[in-house]
Amino acid sequence: MRRKDTRLVELGRDPAQHAGAVNTPVYRASTILFPDVETMRTEAQPYTYGRRGTPTTRGLEQALCELEGGARTVLTPSGLSACTLAILTTCSAGDHILVTDSVYGPTRVFCQKIAKRYGISTTYFEPHVGADIAQQFRPETKAVFVESPGSFSFEVQDVPAIARVAHERGAAVILDNTWATPLYFNALGHGVDLSVQAATKYISGHADVMMGAITANEAWKDRLVETHGTLGLCSSGDDAYLAMRGLRTLGVRLRRHQESAIEIAAWLKSRPEVARVLYPPMHDDSGHVLWKRDFTGASGLFSVILKPASEKAVDAMCDGFEHFGLGYSWGGFESLVVPGHMPRSFPPKLEGPMLRLHIGLEDVEDLKTDLTHGFERLQQAG
């Protein structure tokens, strides 16, 4: 059996089909021609229309599907569109969905605005609920949306326990698995029905692609493909090519992200300005036991809770960084910082302001120096 790094290099490509080219070429296509009416009528050829896929997009879908251990993967224009497609695949008007309170903010906005407008109701549950989520099910509950860990507050959820409860009640389980990727968390193996990736982030890895992906198990693949196609969602061959290029180095990059993040997280814990570090690999993190049980690694994203400080002081700290860019997203080669803001139904108790850090591929000592200067600005600004 091929190990993960070997699979990352080999999946989704067939040089013999493309004149020996190592990488599948970029196919830019809308119209695809049929040899005759019968073939057009029966769609008895691999590709029928650009929106329905080309060899470039299909190669990436197949690679991600095998990594996830699923039955079918589809690509979407963004991570958010993948999250919303998963909800629309599993829920209809009159249905109810349970969503973790630590969910990605734009997914929450979709539930509150668009899903509500179309008759899908949402209840948010405390991320640590585990099997006790059973108490929140209704007869019309059709799906549970989990995100483990949460991408700002980093609660690790007991996904297998939640999945058991959901399946006993006939509900699907959706997981936003962007933080761990299929390399570090086997979503479908832990009971998830639809695994969502913001491929914008670690899959692509270079801060230059917008893409989402959903991998479904056998039970949900047909419904996923139908909903995806009917909504007209697709990704371009150029973006699929770049995402596939990023996928080839995913294993190498994630190991470096993890190694650097663990070192910097431990260093931050020693700083007098820091109250806590929210990062599941740390032994004192509230989610460490579940993380160690279910995950095989960690990415470079975590949060820091500062001791009480003014907004002015936090702004001064963030405004002067040399290596940490101030920007949304994460998962690229570059380090990023963003002040934390979490709309929550069950807000966690925080000692002070929150900063979310993405540890990129820069030298760790340079990043420590940058943070040290930031703490100096924090202190000077009072």
Give yes or no: 101 in active site: no
Ramachandran angles phi, psi of 128, nearest 5°: -90, 15
Tokens linked to 278? 């929210």
Catalytic residue, candidates 51, 52, 307, 368:
51
Catalytic residue, candidates 201, 248, 276, 356:
201
Give yes or no: 253 in active site: no
Residue 122's CB: how many other CB atoms inside 10 A? Answer: 18
Secondary structure letter of residue 49 according to DSSP: B
DSSP string, 89-155: HH--TT-EEEEETT--HHHHHHIIIIIHHTT-EEEEE-TT-GGGGGGG--TTEEEEEEESS-TTT-P
Catalytic residue, candidates 101, 158, 176, 193:
176
Decide: residue 134, CB within 10 A, 0-12 exposed, 13-18 middle, 19+ buried.
middle
Give yes or no: 201 in active site: yes
Give yes or no: 344 in active site: no
Asked if 299 contacts 251 with a C-beta cutoff of 8 angstroms, the reply is no
Ramachandran angles phi, psi of 284, nearest 5°: -95, 5
Asked if 95 contacts 230 with a C-beta cutoff of 8 angstroms, the reply is no
Tokens linked to 42? 């029966």
Secondary structure letter of residue 336 according to DSSP: E
Tokens linked to 138? 């209704």
Residue appearing with tokens 């962007």: 178
What is the largest distance, in Å, between two alpha-carbon atoms of the chain?
A: 76
Q: How far is CA 171 from CA 96, 98, 115, 126, 214, in A?
A: 10, 10, 17, 18, 18
Catalytic residue, candidates 72, 95, 101, 104:
104
Q: How far is CA 29 from CA 24, 58, 237, 283, in A?
A: 14, 13, 8, 50
Using H for helix, E for strand and C for coil, what is the string for 168-182?
A: HCCCEEEEECCCCHH
Q: Which residues are catalytic?
A: 51, 104, 176, 201
